[in-house]
Amino acid sequence: MGAFLEKPKTEKFNESGMGNGIRYGLASMQGWRMEMEDAHSAVTGLPGHLSEWSYFAVFDGHAGHSVSTRCAEELLGAIVDTDDFKRLQPETAPSLEEIQKGIREGFLNLDQKMRHSLESNSCEDKSGSTAVCVLTSPSHFFFVNCGDSRSILIRDDFVVFSTTDHKPNNPDEKARITKAGGSVMIQRVNGSLAVSRSLGDYEYKNVKGVGPTEQLVSPEPEISIVDRDEKSNLVIILACDGVWDVMSNEDVATFVLQRMKVTGDLVVIANEVIDTCFFKNSRDNMSIVIVALPGAPKVDPDMAAKDKALNSMIEDRVRKLMFEDHRLDMNEIVSAINDISTLPDLPPGGGLCAKRRLIEDLHAKFLEEIKLKEETNSSQNAPLTSTNNNDISENNDQIPQSQGEQ
């Protein structure tokens, strides 16, 4: 768990889709961790009689990815396979209690099923996974959480709902852990596991004489039901702790809402959140799903123009620092870039970290140009090769190059 790569893996996995009047975009990135243990799923329009329902989920695995991967593949099926969900009829208003019961049972069934298949394969796998998911019906949102990934609901610019992280120190969690004969040390279950609810983690689920939801670590989800209100601007975000550890709910909400006015591409925004968190020093795997409901913010041409102007201002500053002041060190450039004068319109909630990827890309590009220039200069200064003809062809070479930067 504690090990990190020498060089982070910054390639991102992306996916987007739409259906049921909902758009979503998602991004995930391994980052500094040795393995990618996060998983996710997103489905608009569930099969059969649930065609007006959608489902989004993030799973944060630990001690391996096998449980998180299986959750991504099987949790939705486990929920819709319960008798409570099979009974739901599209034409009658479903009972919220039945839905809640079905979701809970789906979680417990999947946890049992995975345990059986691990045991029957006598597998040494000790992995576990948090799960946060949102089911949307035509009338309600069902926020479902087990562990310390988190989902938030934004309505009209405000975070109006957030799931509660299941940490061993929470009074209810601590009470259950102690009752099961465990302890909470350094904010961890038995001084070891940092979440108090999860799927998998079967070595914490062996207390005799008590049910599956009274173990040291419980697979029971906490379910919150929120009425849908399509008159408001609604955005739902699900992410793992790699995001929430470095950005608050409000940071993420204001950032995403502002970016939605700059671009309509939710994948671009999801990538920007991940990059911003990475430059805010998150060293964990990161995953985020952004769900835009009808009435979510639309692109505002003024905001888009302001962001474009900010990007070219940053480009000018990086160019000046590198070509005129000969400052080539990335960290020096980042700290100097704001010294020139405060940059206007930096994305709220993200600040300069939100533009760090752009700065890095510019830095790499300009470094190439500087190298190229030095090479041509040195070949120019070499004896016998410096002729007028050479000079002209070099000047010609440089014209299309600098046009390409614009």
> Which residues of this protein are in contact with Mn ion, per CB under 5 A?
60, 240-242, 284
When the beta carbons of 60 and 111 are compared against Mn ion, the nearer one is: 60
When the beta carbons of 242 and 350 are compared against Mn ion, the nearer one is: 242
When the beta carbons of 60 and 173 are compared against Mn ion, the nearer one is: 60
Kindly list the distances between the CA atom of residue 169 and the CA atoms of 9, 161, 174, 199, 325, in Å, as whole numbers in the listed order.
Answer: 32, 22, 6, 19, 52
Q: How far apart are CA 401 and CA 398, in angstroms?
A: 5
Q: Least separation, in Å, of the C-beta of 22 and Mn ion?
A: 26
Q: Least separation, in Å, of the C-beta of 21 and Mn ion?
A: 31
Bridge-based pairing state of the strands 286-292 and 222-227? unpaired
When the beta carbons of 147 and 350 are compared against Mn ion, the nearer one is: 147
When the beta carbons of 242 and 349 are compared against Mn ion, the nearer one is: 242
Q: How far apart are CA 397 and CA 392, in angstroms?
A: 9
Q: Least separation, in Å, of the C-beta of 42 and Mn ion?
A: 19
Q: Least separation, in Å, of the C-beta of 148 and Mn ion?
A: 8
Residue owning tokens 């670590």? 217
Q: Least separation, in Å, of the C-beta of 283 and Mn ion?
A: 10
Which residues touch 216 (CB under 8 Å, ≥6 apart)? Answer: 177, 180, 181, 182, 189, 190, 204, 205, 207
Residue 39 contacts residue 69 (beta carbons within 8 Å): yes
When the beta carbons of 70 and 363 are compared against Mn ion, the nearer one is: 70
Sign of CA dihedral 206, 212, 214, 217: positive
The type of residue at 279 is: F
Q: Least separation, in Å, of the C-beta of 136 and Mn ion?
A: 25
Residue 62 contacts residue 147 (beta carbons within 8 Å): no
Q: How far apart are CA 245 and CA 307, in angstroms?
A: 26
When the beta carbons of 63 and 296 are compared against Mn ion, the nearer one is: 63
Nearest to 146 by CA among 224, 236, 42, 247: 224
Q: Least separation, in Å, of the C-beta of 127 and Mn ion?
A: 13
Q: Least separation, in Å, of the C-beta of 63 and Mn ion?
A: 12
When the beta carbons of 80 and 238 are compared against Mn ion, the nearer one is: 238
61 three-state secondary structure:
strand
Per-residue b/e over 160-191, b at no fewer than 16 CB within 10 Å? ebbbebbbbebeebbebbeebebebeeebbbe
